[in-house]
Chains A and B, each alone.
Chain A
Amino acid sequence: MSKIYYLPSHEYVKVDGDIALVGISEYAASQLGAVTYVDVPEEGDELAAGDEFGAIESRKAASDLFSPVSGEVIEVNEELADNPRLINNAPLDAWIIKVKMSDPAELDGLMDESAYAEFCKKQH
C-alpha cells in the first residue's frame, strides 16, 4: 500500500518501500492549466532532497520541479514527452520521475494528505 506526501512547492511523492514516484499535485496541475512540456532529468542522476530536477511548462508559465527525497532517478516517465497533458488528466497517475530513495526518513519532514489539503486552502 503506497502512501503520499507533499512539498509546499506542490510536488507529491508516492512511496512504496524504498521506491518513490514524484509528480505534481492536482492543485498545481489545475493552477498551471494545460501542460505543454515537461523537462526531465536523466536516468541515473543522483538527487538530494530539495534539488531542482526539471521543470513543467504551460502556456502561462514554467515552474521548476523540486525533489522531495534523496536518491537515484531510476526511471523517467517517457509517456509525458508525447503527451504532457496526462498530467492534467490524472496528475496522481502521471508521475514524472521514479526515485530509489537513499534516506526514507526524509519523508517525516513532508506534509501528509490532510496537511497538504489544509495548506492548499490557505493559498487563496
Chain B
Amino acid sequence: MENQLKETCLNGCHRSLGATMVPFAGYDMPVEYSGLDAEHTAVRTRCGLFDVSHMGEIKISGPQATEFVDHIFTGHAAAMNIGQALYGMMTNAEGGIVDDLLVYRLAAQEWLLVINAANIDKDIAWVARQLKDYDVTLSDCCADYGQIALQGPDSERLLAEALGIDGSDLGFYTFKTLADGTIVSRTGYTGEDGFEIYSTPGIIVQMWERLIAAGVEPCGLGCRDTLRFEAGLPLYGNELADDISPLEAGLGMFVALDKPGGFIGCDALRAQKAEGLKRRLVGLEIEGGATARHGFEVLDLDGAVVGHVTTGYNSLTLGRNIAMALVDARYATLGTSLQVRIRRRTVPATVIKKRFYTPNYKK
C-alpha cells in the first residue's frame, strides 16, 4: 500500500511554479523547476532557493540538556557558544551512524537538532531511548518549523534586499534569532555561501514568495544532490548508514573522540581508529562517458569486488564523470587504479580526492 505523502508548507508554491514533484522521504517534494542544470548553475554563480521544510527539528532542554547533547552527539557541545551551530553525527554503540545532523545552541541549556527527513521517526525513538538518566525534555518540533535554504554567492545581498535581514554579521556556522523567533543560520549543503532559515510555516511561505519575486531561482532536490556531491558532502542513505562509521566516511574532523565523558559509540570508534579502518570513502574519476551510480560495484584490476559506489554524477561544474565510493581501505590511496561495473561493462577508474569542488564559504 502506498502511504499518503506529507506536504511541506510550500507545496502550493511549488505547484504554482510548475515544479516536477516526486516522493522523497515520505514527502511530496520538488525535484526540479526550470531544470537541474540551470538550477545548479544558478547556485554556483548567483543564488538559489530550496524548500527544506521536510528536515526534522527536535529540541532538547532542561538542566542537563548540554550534558545530554554531548552524550548523543559526536561534536563537543559544551565547548560551543550560544549562537553557534555545529555539524556532526549521532552514532550507535558500534560506532555506526544513526544520523548526521546540525546542532544549534539556542541557550545555555536549550538545543535545536536538525535531522534528516528520512530518519525522523528513527532518530526521535533513538534519542528518547537515551533520555532515562538525564533531566531533560525532548520536544518534537517538526510541525512548528518550515525551513528554506538560500544558497549561492549573492545570498547575503538578497537576504537583505528581499527580506530586510542583515546577514553580514554572521560568520560561517553561526546563527541569530530574530524578534519573531525566526532563526537565520549561515550554513548550507551546496558548497556555496548561504543561509538556512527556520520559522513558522506562515513566515516561511512569505519569505519564499518575496525571494522568488526578487528573482531568486527556485531549486529542487535534483540540484541539491548534485551540488552537495560536488562539494564532497555526504548524504545519509548513500555515504552514511547505521553500519558505516564517521571515520570510514572521512568525517573524523567532526568526531570529538577526546571530549570529556565521550559519547555513545566513542569507545567503538576509538578502537576502530586504533586497529585501522577496514573501509574508506573515496572519490573516483571514471573514464569515459557513462556515469557510475549508487550501488554499482567497484572492482580491483583483477575483477574482485572491493567496494561500491555511494553517489555518482556527470559533474556539471567539472564536466567529468566522478563518484564517491566506499572501498576496502587497501584501495583508498590517491591515484589507485580501480574499475567500476556499469551495466555490462567494466570501466577504468582512479581514486581522487572526494571534495571535487572547492567550496566558497564565508569565513
Contacts and interface: CB of A to CB of B under 8 A. Distances in A.
Interface of A: 33-34, 36-37, 39, 55, 57, 59-60, 62, 81, 84
Given A33-B35, A34-B37, A39-B343, A59 B289 contact: no
Interface in B190-249: 222, 226
Contact of B314 (A37, A55, A81): A37
Contacts of B290: 37, 39, 57
A59 B315 CA distance: 8
A55 B342 CA distance: 10
A57 B291 contact: yes
A97 to B, nearest CB: 15
B35 to A, nearest CB: 6
Contact of A81 (B36, B289, B313): B289
Interface string B290-315: 11010000000000000000000110
Q: Which 4 A-B pairs have the closest CB atoms?
A: A37-B289, A36-B314, A37-B290, A57-B291
Given A39-B343, A55-B343, A59-B36, A84 B289 contact: yes
A81 B254 CA distance: 43
10 contacts: A33-B35, A33-B36, A33-B37, A36-B289, A37-B314, A57-B291, A59-B36, A59-B226, A60-B32, A60-B36
B316 interface: yes
B291 A62 contact: yes
Nearest to B291: A57
Contacts, number: 36
Given A36-B291, A37-B290, A39-B290, A57 B314 contact: yes
B54 to A, nearest CB: 19
A55 B291 CA distance: 11
B95 to A, nearest CB: 34
A59 B313 contact: yes
Nearest to A31: B20
A59 B316 contact: yes
A36 B37 CA distance: 12
Nearest to B314: A36
B172 to A, nearest CB: 28
Contacts of A39: 290, 342-343, 345
A37 B35 CA distance: 18
B205 to A, nearest CB: 25
Contacts of B343: 39, 55
A84 B314 CA distance: 13
Given A33-B35, A33-B36, 20 more contacts: A33-B32, A33-B37, A37-B289, A37-B290, A37-B291, A37-B314, A39-B290, A39-B343, A55-B343, A57-B291, A57-B314, A59-B36, A59-B226, A59-B313, A59-B314, A59-B316, A60-B36, A62-B291, A62-B293, A84-B289
Nearest to A81: B289
